[in-house]
Amino acid sequence: MRTRPLSYACLLFATLCGAYFLVFFQRLSLGVIMPSLTEDLGLTPSMTGWLGSAFLYAYAATQIPAGLLVDNWGPRRTMLLLFGMGGVGGLLFASAASLGTALAGRALVGVGMAVVTTASFKIMSNWFRAGIYARLVSIFMATGGLGTFFAAAPLAALNTAFGWRPVFRGIAVFSLFWGALLWLMVKDAPSRGQERTPALSSMQRPACIRSGCAHPPGVSAEDRHKRAPESSTSPADILRTFRILFSSPQYRLIVLWYLTGASLFFSFAGLWAGDYYRRVHGLSAESLGALLSLGSLSLILGTPAGAWLSDRLHSRRAVLIIGSVCALGSSLSLCFSSAPLPLWALWLQFGGICVAGNATASAVFASAREVLPPSVLGLSTSMLSLSIFGCTACLQAVIGGLLETFSALGPEQAYAHAFSVYLVFASVSLAAALMFRPSGHQA
């Protein structure tokens, strides 16, 4: 009898991981199908850029409202509402006959996926003890890498075999099914009887959940009660929190680095890589899918590797510099190399962008924790997430506009001119990394 609550909690966790898998799959899925999508809907490069950005704009804009709903309405009900909207958006996108319908569908998908991380982290913190929570978060994040992998080679094969519309219609139906599974399997917190099970949380939270308060995971019940009086949602306190956050020069450099260093991966891998490597370097669908799968490997293996290296070197800054150098080298190759490049060179080129976007993630968020007081760490993480998605959305649209402007030069030269933006971003990220001098937060 004592193992049943733990078994249920494991199933609950697996259900949350499945939802996060869909988040990363949807986030990067357009890169592989974009050539087919462009031909089917008759899109210009600028239209392609806006379509690729629709998911990111909606995802970023929904972050704060989703967080408020999770805290005040409960993660389970919020997930059901927004995840269901994402499934409906997927059906709309798969049946789109025009750019407007496709934009609306992708925006709804972005809204639906935006709630998964916030709701899942709150549910996991309610269910599991602190010692297990850290390991579960690592597994949870790794499923995102699996989603990225399936958005590359497997999706390319399915697109070739069936076409993008049946594939994405099936994904939408699966998303609706998973939303129903979330409703059936997920509970906001364990019951009193389940709390007595080893590995599950022993904190009594019902009153806290009803009041909508949020607590950092892994903090004891006693410490949470001690910290509760400090939280406030008055406009003056919110403004004071933002002032603390952005009065830190080192945090501003972290944001600048994240915007200019990591956004290259999300922009390039998420939209333009598929069309670029197909049209400029003549890669087949199979070779393209294999190359793009490097993005998922960099997420699964690169993130812990970056954390290990920064600890080994006792320097977050060194990892950020390495990421910037990789981004700069890849950007130079995108702008100035002559096509076609050998396949190994393309793997190095794309690999540098993957390192900049994924292997540096742990160093970025660890640096933010080290240069800021604990009272603003939650907001600092939210701001980094909002910033990267907003910047990526704008960057994809800018690249699309530049491709259309230089289209008369041919695909190779048009992409070389458009990717000069990446070169500028990589250079700025290197400057930000070199100026970054963390000394740790002084209490």
Distance CA 262, CA 252 (A): 15
User: Dihedral of CA 37/38/41/45: which sign?
Assistant: positive
pLDDT band at 389 (very low <50, low <70, confident <90, very high): confident
Nearest Cα to 52, choosing from 68, 66, 33, 65? Answer: 33
Encode pLDDT of 409-420 as tens digits: 999 999 999 999
Burial (CB count within 10 angstroms: exposed 0-12, middle 13-18, buried 19+), residue 214: middle
- Percent of the chain topping pLDDT 70: 80
Is the pLDDT at 83 greater than 70, yes or no? yes
Q: What is the chain's mean pLDDT, rounded? A: 78
DSSP string, 218-247: T--HHHHHHHGGG----HHHHHHHHHHHHT
pLDDT band at 47 (very low <50, low <70, confident <90, very high): confident
Distance CA 127, CA 218 (A): 11
Encode pLDDT of 203-223 as tens digits: 434 333 333 333 433 434 433
3-state secondary structure of 200: strand
Token pair of 352 as six digits: 């540098």
Distance CA 257, CA 358 (A): 13
Question: How do the domains of the chain map onto residue ranges?
Answer: 1-190, 241-443
pLDDT at site 234: 54
DSSP string, 334-382: HHHPPSPPPHHHHHHHHHHHHIIIIITHHHHHHHHHHHS-GGGHHHHHH
Encode pLDDT of 151-205 as tens digits: 877 888 888 888 889 999 999 999 899 888 888 888 877 765 545 444 454 443 4
Distance CA 395, CA 419 (A): 10
| Bridge partner list, 128 | 200
Token pair of 8 as six digits: 């249920």
Distance CA 143, CA 125 (A): 18
Give mean pLDDT, residues 97-109.
90
pLDDT at site 213: 38
pLDDT at site 435: 94
Encode pLDDT of 324-359 as tens digits: 999 999 999 999 988 889 999 999 999 999 999 888
Nearby residues of 6 by Cβ (< 8 Å), 6 or more positions away: 197, 198, 199, 200
| Bridge partner list, 200 | 128
Task: Please report, to the nearest 10 degrees, the dihedral formed by the alpha carbons of residues 57, 30, 403, 419 taken in order.
Answer: 80
Token pair of 257 as six digits: 């680095």
Encode pLDDT of 19-46 as tens digits: 888 888 888 788 778 888 888 888 887 7
Distance CA 257, CA 313 (A): 20
3-state secondary structure of 163: coil
What number does CATH give the domain 1-190?
A: 1.20.1250.20
| Bridge partner list, 227 | none
Burial (CB count within 10 angstroms: exposed 0-12, middle 13-18, buried 19+), residue 340: middle
Q: CATH classification of 241-443 is 1.20.1250.20, yes or no?
A: yes
Token pair of 240 as six digits: 């004071």
User: Do 241-443 and 1-190 fall under one CATH topology?
Assistant: yes
pLDDT at site 237: 62
